[in-house]
Amino acid sequence: MTIGQNIKRLRRNADMTQEELAEMLSISSQAISRWETGTAIPDISFIPAIVNIFGTTSDELLGINSNNFQEKIEKYKK
């Protein structure tokens, strides 16, 4: 999943509108829409606020699967 898809999923799971999230981040709801549709990505400075709002980790938000990452490292070591 992309970061935008993850934001959309987390926002919906929290029963939050794009407008509510935008207000919490002091940005426009259009910016949230662009993130969720993949036409833009959030500035890195928003990552800490987003993960705190949704009670998640930056790895989950960014779609990083650490298990997959470790498996790839082991594969390349061989």
pLDDT per position as a tens digit, 8-67: 999 999 999 999 999 999 999 999 999 999 999 999 999 999 999 999 999 999 988 767
pLDDT for residue 71: 75
32 within 8 A of 21, measured Cβ to Cβ: yes
Digit-coded pLDDT (tens) for 66-76 = 676 677 777 77
19 within 8 A of 29, measured Cβ to Cβ: yes
The torsion defined by the Cα of 46, 26, 21 and 40, in degrees rounded to 10, comes to -50
Report the predicted TM-score, pTM, of the whole model to 2 decimal places. 0.83
- Which tokens belong to 45? 């400075």
Cα separation, 78 vs 28, whole angstroms = 48
pLDDT for residue 69: 66
